[in-house]
């Protein structure tokens, strides 16, 4: 009996280790987070090998912000129009390349107080032994559209858990499911900053 409970404990610890993620968050202490009533989400830059990762992660991020209900999220069509008006060239890593002046101009064009700019760093199924599990890594920043400064930033990398034939403790098996969880964590961290 003791060996079964030991095996179960080992499985639980293994599951916890494989499905853990890491994150880093920055909050500008001088920013007035009550000011952000209407925000926009620019389509994420894609630094991963999956060519559709940007669309999938951007859509999940918008959905999670809408679910949070703390800010109004601008229509993606309006954001795309404002982006084409302000940004005249192609950028491969917008979080690193957006200037303060461009953030201010996007705010005016889109009638926004803040704008989220992100990058998908990893978006893939990763093999571990016999199993594959999802890996999602994103970085997102909120630019204040009045000052053009970054006032909030969140970077997260999360792995799903491998499939176990007998035990299932809520581990994540698909990229879509993990993307929703990751974006949910980001949106929750942001809405908690607004308090």
Return the CATH number at 115: 3.40.50.10610
155 pLDDT higher than 90: yes
12 pLDDT higher than 90: no
Residues sharing a CB contact under 8 Å with residue 40, sequence separation 6 or more, in sequence order: 73, 74, 78, 79, 82, 106, 110, 112, 114, 115, 116
The mean predicted confidence, pLDDT, of the chain is: 87
72 pLDDT higher than 60: yes
121 pLDDT higher than 90: yes
Average pLDDT (119-142) is 92
Name the more confident of 12 and 25: 25
Q: What is the DSSP string of 121-187?
A: EEEEEEEETTEEEEEEEEEEEEEETTT--EEEEEEEEEEPPPP-SS--SS---SHHHHHHHHHHHHH
Which tokens in the block code for residue 16?
């916890």
How many domains is the chain built from? 1
Average pLDDT (89-99) is 85
Specify the pLDDT at position 8. Answer: 40
11 pLDDT higher than 60: no
Query: Mind listing the pLDDT tens digit for each residue in 29-55?
Result: 999 999 999 999 999 999 999 999 999
Average pLDDT (158-187) is 79
Q: pTM score, two decimals?
A: 0.84
Name the more confident of 42 and 2: 42
Domain limits for position 81: 2-193
Name the more confident of 158 and 89: 158
């Amino acid at each position: 009996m003791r060996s079964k409970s030991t095996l179960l404990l080992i499985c639980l610890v293994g599951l916890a280790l494989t499905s853990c993620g890491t994150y880093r968050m920055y909050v500008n202490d001088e920013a007035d987070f009550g000011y952000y009533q209407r925000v926009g989400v620019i389509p994420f830059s894609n630094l991963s090998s999956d060519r559709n990762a940007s669309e999938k992660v951007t859509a999940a991020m918008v959905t999670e912000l809408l679910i949070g209900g703390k800010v109004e999220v601008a229509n993606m069509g309006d954001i795309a129009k404002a982006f084409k008006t302000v940004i005249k060239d192609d950028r491969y890593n917008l979080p690193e390349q957006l200037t303060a002046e461009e953030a201010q101009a996007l705010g005016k064009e889109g009638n926004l107080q803040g704008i989220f700019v992100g990058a998908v760093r990893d978006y893939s199924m990763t093999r571990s032994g016999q199993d594959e599990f999802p890996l999602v890594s994103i970085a997102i920043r909120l630019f204040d559209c009045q000052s053009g400064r970054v006032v909030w930033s969140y970077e997260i990398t999360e792995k799903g858990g491998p499939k176990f034939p007998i035990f299932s403790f809520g581990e994540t098996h698909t990229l879509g499911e993990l993307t929703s969880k990751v974006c949910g964590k980001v949106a929750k961290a942001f809405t908690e900053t607004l308090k």
